[in-house]
Amino acid sequence: MANFTRTDRIAQQIQREIAELIRLQINDPRVRLVTITGVEVAADYSHAKIFFTRLDGKHEEAQHGLDHASGFLRSQLAHSLKLRVMPQLHFVYDESVERGSHLTQLIDEAIASDKLHPDNS
């Protein structure tokens, strides 16, 4: 537990709160299919990078919606988090899910190709 720093705990709390706020209080259709995948908080708590993904691939649209809602989200966070400094929120598209899906597809294609041509050892 000693390696689990205060910034890590705050990042996890921000992730939970932002996900809940997006689900329950943001009515912007651009933000509907967004999943918060992680949060990184600066050591001085001045900034928080909030990583997100969107299942339908329209991440630019989601980025605009999240940027538009960032002031509201930050003010709502201030009510639930007791911090001296409330971080500025910066939303960043998380490409890892898309990359992982693409790699899985490539692996599946390679396996299917091997099954069709078993003598290519």
What's the number of domains the chain is made of? 1
Q: What is the pLDDT of residues 4-45, one digit of tens each?
A: 688 899 999 999 999 999 999 999 999 988 999 999 999 898
Query: Which residue, 19, 64, 63, is CA-closest to 38?
Result: 19
Domain that holds residue 40: 6-94
77 within 8 A of 83, measured Cβ to Cβ: no
| pTM higher than 0.85 | no
Count of beta carbons in the 10 Å neighbourhood of residue 52 = 23
For residue 119, what pLDDT band results from cuts at 50, 70 and 90? low
Average pLDDT of the chain, as a whole number: 87
92 within 8 A of 49, measured Cβ to Cβ: yes
Is residue 83 domain-resident? yes
Give the CATH number of the domain where residue 44 resides. 3.30.300.20
Q: What is the pLDDT of residues 80-109, one digit of tens each?
A: 888 888 999 999 998 877 777 778 888 888
